[in-house]
Chains A and B, each alone.
Chain A
Amino acid sequence: MFEEGSVINELLIERLNYFIYVVLLMIGLHAMISKRNLIKKLIGMSIFQTAIILFYVSIGVKDEATIPIYKANHDPHGSHVEHGEANGLTGGVLYGPKALKKEEVQEYANPLPHVLMLTAIVVGVATLGLALALCQRIYQGYGTIEEDELLVKIERADARKSLSPIENSKTSSSRKSASQKPGLTKVSSVMKSSISTNPSVTKSKKAVTHKKQPKGKK
């Protein structure tokens, strides 16, 4: 099964890093596409991101190379005591900075993927924080972070808005907080009251919304 040249051997032993990255990427993509919960989608996004980071870092690996930090004998400010004694000098020799030769370059791993992934990780944290904040705001407004329930609620809010614009503008002027999204706040406050009073109501609603879901998608 693991003999030379077989597909499994190639995938699981020779190219294990690529295999893991593809599997992680598929898990993340699947979570982002099929999960209805926004938080689960975000988890999928993070897994996807991790896959890309793993891909880049595994490309930066170089055989018989060390981390991209100069060793003592290449250090621009380094001194090497043994070397100095060999030359008949005492107290070590300070090396000035000098450009590395081609075979010396092979001693260090590629710094570029590490720099790019450092950037990607930091930006990933920033975007994840922003996305979580959006999820919390959506939950405050609609009382749910399930995508299908959200779609139904948004549709209902839109329908109400298009039915009676006059009544809506009245309510919005009477409410300070509703001035930005007149339709949404009204509906969401109704929703919230029903949800907060009885958790079983949401469950039954969920069952209903599942049936309605294809309509909402169209």
Chain B
Amino acid sequence: MKFVSMLPVVAVGGILLLAAKDFPAWGDPQSPASSSPVSSHFIGSTGVDTEVPNMVTAVLADYRGFDTMFETVVVFIAGIAVLAILGGAGKRRASKRVHEVEAEPDLIVTNTARLIVPVIQIFAFYVLAHGHVSPGGGFQGGVVMGASFILIGLSWDLETALARFSIQRCMAVAAGGIVIYGGIGLLSMFLGGEFLDYAELESILPVSREMARYHAMLGVEIGVGFTVTAIMFALYANLSTAGRLKGGL
């Protein structure tokens, strides 16, 4: 069985290694990916189109805004699906776990977490808000923010974290993030442009068309950050307790 499974693996690996000969060399500036007109256009005219210094953010939230929006929806759907799969389990099979121990949260751990959690959350806001000019953005900031809640859940217990950010609130915040994203897209549509054509927001923002795209990108990233924060914590809370939402690790 194991030996038979090696055959397709070796075959695929061999073919890919053969194909590697035709791939561009390491760091080749003339490689198809680097010399393609799309990437040259993104590098060359991001500054003119959007005035955003970080091209990755500009491509993510503006040029490929549709992709990112539905990616956020995918994250949201994953959170809902995990709730749906594990949600009913808690009531049916309560108090099934045998290896659970009742223990006070450790003093050193909780006090360290007490000190470090606000710093993590401020850093998350920095990563989120500074995503235009430095590496960062909605997904990264959202994950850091979600990690701060997971840290609370790890160092105290899950109830403490859920008292601050309950699952219902998680879902509301996650849905709110998508509403922010889609709302900005719809708003630009109602203002005369196309869906997610942020430049049309200039008529309600006191800035130029380019800066309207710049600021709309921040709004979109905030929506993404909301969704990712909530879903990351909801995933942790559900998966660590098999849907019972108490006890935890």
Chain A residues packing against B (C-beta within 8 Å)? 10-11, 14-19, 21-23, 25-26, 29-30, 33-34, 58-65, 67-70, 74-78, 97-102, 104-106, 108-115, 118-119, 122-123, 125-127, 129-130, 132-134, 136-137, 140, 177
Interface of A is mostly: helix
Interface string of B70-83 (1 = CB under 8 A from A): 01001101110110
A44 to chain B, nearest CB (A): 11
Question: Could you say which interface size class chain B belongs to?
Answer: 35 or more
Cβ A69 vs Cβ B8 within 8 A: no
Contact of B85 among A25, A125, A133 (CB under 8 A): A133
- The total of Cβ contacts below 8 Å across the A-B interface reads 195
Q: In the complex, which residues 85-144 of chain B have their Cβ closer than 8 Å to any Cβ of chain A?
A: 85-86, 89, 92-93, 133-135, 137, 139
CA distance A16 to B26 in the complex (A): 9
Q: In the complex, which residues 199-244 of chain B have their Cβ closer than 8 Å to any Cβ of chain A?
A: 210, 228, 231-232, 235, 238-239, 242-243
B224 to chain A, nearest CB (A): 9
Q: B189 in the interface, Cβ–Cβ < 8 Å?
A: no
Closest A-B pairs by Cβ, 5 of them = A126-B78, A18-B20, A34-B5, A63-B27, A76-B51
Q: In the complex, which residues 42-67 of chain B have their Cβ closer than 8 Å to any Cβ of chain A?
A: 42-48, 51-56, 59-60, 64, 67
Given contacts A98-B48, A127-B78, A137-B86, contact A59 B33 (CB under 8 A): yes
Interface string of B11-28 (1 = CB under 8 A from A): 011001100110111111
CA distance A129 to B49 in the complex (A): 37
CA distance A133 to B243 in the complex (A): 9
Residues of chain A contacted by B45 (CB below 8 angstroms): 99-100
A38 to chain B, nearest CB (A): 14
Given contacts A112-B59, A133-B85, contact A99 B48 (CB under 8 A): yes
Chain B residues packing against A (C-beta within 8 Å)? 1-2, 5-6, 8-10, 12-13, 16-17, 20-21, 23-29, 31, 33-34, 36, 38-40, 42-48, 51-56, 59-60, 64, 67-68, 71, 74-75, 77-79, 81-82, 85-86, 89, 92-93, 133-135, 137, 139, 210, 228, 231-232, 235, 238-239, 242-243
Contact of B86 among A15, A30, A136 (CB under 8 A): A136
